[in-house]
Amino acid sequence: MTVQPPAAVSPKPPPFQIVRTEPSEKYLKMLIYGDYGAGKTTLAATALDVPAMTDLLFINAESGDLSLPRGIDKVDIKDYATLARVFEFLRAHTRYRDAGDTRRMAELESRLRGEPVSEPKIYRTVIVDSLTEVQTYLMYQLLNLDVDNWALDVTPESPEYKEWGQSSEMIQLLVRTFRDLPMHVIFVCSAQEVTDDKNRMLKRPNLPGKLAGKVQGFLDVVGYLDTAPDKEGNVVRRLWMQPGTRLFQAKHRFRNHPDLKFIDNPTLKDLFNLTKESKSNASANATTTSSDSDSPKASTQAAGSGTGGRGPVRRPVQRGGRPVQSARRVGG
Residue in 53, 39, 202 with CA at minimum distance from that of residue 129 = 39
Residue 255 confidence (pLDDT): 87
From CA 154, how far away is CA 29, in angstroms rounded?
Answer: 40
Q: Is the pLDDT of residue 300 over 90?
A: no
Does the reported pTM lie above 0.75? yes
From CA 230, how far away is CA 326, in angstroms rounded?
Answer: 9
CATH for 25-35+42-206, among 1.10.3470, 1.20.1060, 3.40.50, 3.10.450?
3.40.50
Going from N- to C-terminal start, the domains of the chain cover: 25-35+42-206, 220-332
Q: Is the pLDDT of residue 248 over 70?
A: yes
Mean per-residue pLDDT for 72-85? 95
pLDDT tens sequence across 107-166:
999 999 999 999 999 999 999 999 999 999 999 999 999 888 888 888 888 999 999 999
Specify the amino acid at residue 119: E
User: What is the number of H-type helices and E-type strands within the chain?
Assistant: 8, 12
Q: If DSSP codes are grouped into helix, strand and coil, which group holds residue 15?
A: coil
296 or 82, greater pLDDT: 82
